[in-house]
Structure 1
Amino acid sequence: MHIKVHPMGDYQTNCYIVTINDKDIIIDPGVNATAWIKQNSTNPIALLNTHGHFDHVWSNQEVKELFNIKLYTPVDDEFMLTLNPYNLGMPPSSADVLVKPDEEIEIEGIKIKFHHFSGHTPGCSVIQIDDTLFSGDFIFKGTIGRFDFPNSNAQDMKKSLKKILKWDKNFHIYPGHGDKTTLYDEVDNLKQWERHIR
């Protein structure tokens, strides 16, 4: 697996190109991501969203139409693809495949699992490919995603933290913002957040 990353837009939202066997999977195409993807992807086969916030889905429609690939989005965040929060002019997009919570899919021989960790958004998901997690805005290096936005839920976040703290494998984590980390490096921090949320 080869991973390319570039932070997009004012919020420096990480867009990923994951290459396996000369096939590219694009994750979270943020603001003005299309040009970078075009320059750095030779064989895109699918477009994935970790969740529906505008800074992660901004270029969805443009990218999927440019490369004629399908868009996979967590079903519980589908409603966000046509929202225009803060009147920023986000282009609406439509998902081709709505992924159910904790569903595993296969795209051209590549197994991908959408682990459901709601709290930041209703459909917030961590995308697992092999031993690598693309955590969106659930886990960052040294912290977690906010749960005080509209459509966020603190109790759902607490449940999601309990859920991932039961995992016992040191996954590589590539978050939606900031630097990569590992699950074991974040365990103490996740435990503190889980205790903190009331």
Structure 2
Amino acid sequence: MQIKKQQMGDYQTNCYIVTIDNKDLIIDPGVNATPWVKQNVTNPIAILNTHGHFDHVWSNKELSEDLNIKIYCPKNDEFMLKNDPYGLGMKPSKADVLVEPDEEFDFDGIKVKFHFFPGHTPGCSAIEIENNLFTGDFIFKNSIGRCDFPFSNPNDMKNSIIRILKWDKNFRVYPGHGSHTTLFQEKESLKAWLNYL
């Protein structure tokens, strides 16, 4: 497995390309991600959205059309792709596959699971591929995603943290912003955040 990362746009949103057996999965193609992605894929098979915020899905439409691949997005965040709720001029995109909570997929032998962790957004999910967890804006290094935005829910975030704290596997964590970490490294920070929600 190879993981490539590039920060996109004003919010330095991490776009990832995960390559396994010469097949490329594109995670969270943000603002102006298209040129970088196209330079770094040889056999793209899908676009995976951790959630629907504009800085993670900005290049969905362009890439899906240019590369002729499907968009997978948590179903509870579909409205953000279609409606540009923040009015920033994002080109609307349409998810080809609306992902159910905790749904699993098999991309020609590559196992992918969308773990449902709402709070930051209604459909916020962490994408598991092998021993890696692409957490979008759920977990960052020493922090969590904000839940004071429109459509956020602090109580859902609290429940999501409680749920992941029960996990006993030390995933490598690749967040939507900042540097990578591990789940075990973040457990104390996550416990502390519970006091602020």
Q: TM-score range by the shorter chain?
A: over 0.9
1:7 maps to what in 2? 7
How many residues align? The count is 197
Matched, 1:159 2:174: no
For 1:61, the equivalent position in structure 2 comes to 61
Tell me the distance in 1 between the aligned counterparts of 2:143 and 2:62: 32
Q: Corresponding residue for 1:132?
A: 132
Is 1:179 aligned to 2:179, yes or no?
A: yes
Separation in 1 of the partners of 2:31 and 2:98?
A: 22
Hey, what's the Cα distance between the residues in 2 that align with 1:196 and 1:148? 12
Corresponding letter in the other structure for 1:28: D
- Give the alignment of 1:10-21 within 5 angstroms: 10-21=10-21
Partner of 1:43 in structure 2?
43
1:110-139 deviation line (CA, Å, top 9, x unaligned): 110000000000000000001100000000
For residues 120 and 83 of structure 1, what CA distance do their matches in structure 2 show? 18
Q: Deviations over 1:152-187 (max 9, x none)?
A: 000000000000000001100000000000001000
**What is the deviation of 1:88?**
1.8
Report what 1:87 is aligned to.
87
Output the CA distance in 1 between the equivalents of 2:90 and 2:136: 19
* 2:121 match: secondary structure: coil
The answer for the alignment partner of 1:115 in structure 2 is 115
Q: Distance in 2 between matches of 1:167 and 1:104?
A: 18
Consecutive unaligned residues of structure 1, counting only runs of 5 or more, are none
Between the aligned partners of 2:53 and 2:63, the Cα distance in structure 1 is: 17
Residue identity opposite 2:154 in structure 1: A
Q: List structure 1 segments (4+ residues) > 6 angstroms apart after TM superposition.
A: none
CA distance in 2, matches of 1:86, 1:154: 20
Partner of 2:104: 104
Aligned partner of 2:172: which letter? H
Q: Give the aligned residue type for 2:12.
A: Q
Larger CA deviation: 84-93 vs 104-113: 84-93
Determine the C-alpha separation between the residues in 2 that align with 1:51 and 1:37.
Answer: 19
Q: Report deviation, 1:83.
A: 2.5
TM-score, length-scaled by structure 1: 0.98
* Cα-to-partner distance string for 1:32-57 (whole Å, 9 max, x where unaligned): 00000011111101110000000000
Gaps in structure 2 of 5+ consecutive residues: none
State the one-letter code of the partner of 1:50: T
| Partners of 2:82 and 2:94 in 1: CA distance | 8
SS of the residue corresponding to residue 128 of structure 1 reads strand
Q: How far apart in 2 are the matches of 1:181 and 1:27?
A: 17
How far is the alpha carbon of 1:18 from its aligned partner? 0.1
RMSD: 0.7
- Identity percentage of aligned residues: 68
Report deviation, 1:109. Answer: 1.3
Instruction: Give the aligned residue type for 2:33.
Output: A
Query: If the length of structure 2 is used for normalisation, what is the TM-score?
Result: 0.98
